[in-house]
Structure 1
């Protein structure tokens, strides 16, 4: 058991990311549930809810005009300036930099390069006891790279459909 913890201490990081990701999703669920309860309370009283509450429930950010459900390249307006991160509007527009074939191919090549690095490290590392951990990470990164490659092929093939 001591060997396991001393050899795989780095697994604490992905496990921690999973735990914090689950905690974030739980808090988002509670926040959306509270928003819906507040909307229900307004509806029971016959009052009009504030527009900020309605925008928060619908997922739009305040201060921006309503835009389409998909970012440019998917049938909407041309890309605005200067950078997609600064756009206002709904979630798809704010997260445009994650969309599109360019970013899918970039992710595929980057994860493929990291996987190749771990394969090389597992074969030619001079540190004793690093074969199994590097090989495990190489296998996982290869699977992620193949998944990203499939996503890139599908995003390039079915882009405007």
Structure 2
């Protein structure tokens, strides 16, 4: 069992993110259920529900992101900063592959450098083709 944990310790991350996603879905379900119960209470009293309550019910369950903002309120992605980040990471891994032997001669850092370079090229293309309304 101990060797299993040493070999597959990285599985903690995908399992953890899956559990966080399930918990986020459960919270969205509870939000909708509580809003419906509150709407029923207003209907039983014969009162008009507030506009904010109706907006909660109109919002889809999967609209909330990790930050709790709706997609219409989000800022556009800054592809130039992504290009800079992945270009620097790609160059760093390329230098580590070329000048050091940290990966034991397996060229793993070289593969990571190419992947980071490909993402940097994607970010550059996205930065050049995305229109910004100012």
Q: Provide the TM-score with structure 1 as the length reference.
A: 0.49
Distance 1:29 1:158, change over 3 A: closer
1:140–1:150 Cα change, 3 Å: same
Superposed displacement of residue 135, structure 1: 2.2
- How far residue 140 of structure 1 moved from its aligned partner, in angstroms, is 1.9
Which residue pairs with 1:106 in the alignment? 88
The equivalent of 1:141 in structure 2 is: 109
Following TM superposition, where does structure 1 have runs of at least 4 consecutive aligned residues deviating by more than 4 angstroms?
A: none
Q: Which runs of 5+ in 1 are unaligned?
A: 6-11, 75-98, 123-132
- Alpha-carbon distance in 1 for matches of 2:90, 2:122: 12
Among 22, 26, 37, the residue aligned to 2:29: 37
Task: Please report the TM-score for the alignment, with normalisation by the length of structure 2.
Answer: 0.57
Structure-2 change in CA distance of 1:157 and 1:33 (3 Å): closer
SS at match of 1:58: coil
CA contact (8 A) 2:96 2:109 kept: yes
Task: Return the offset for 1:134.
Answer: 0.7
Larger radius of gyration: 2
CA contact (8 A) 2:79 2:124 kept: no
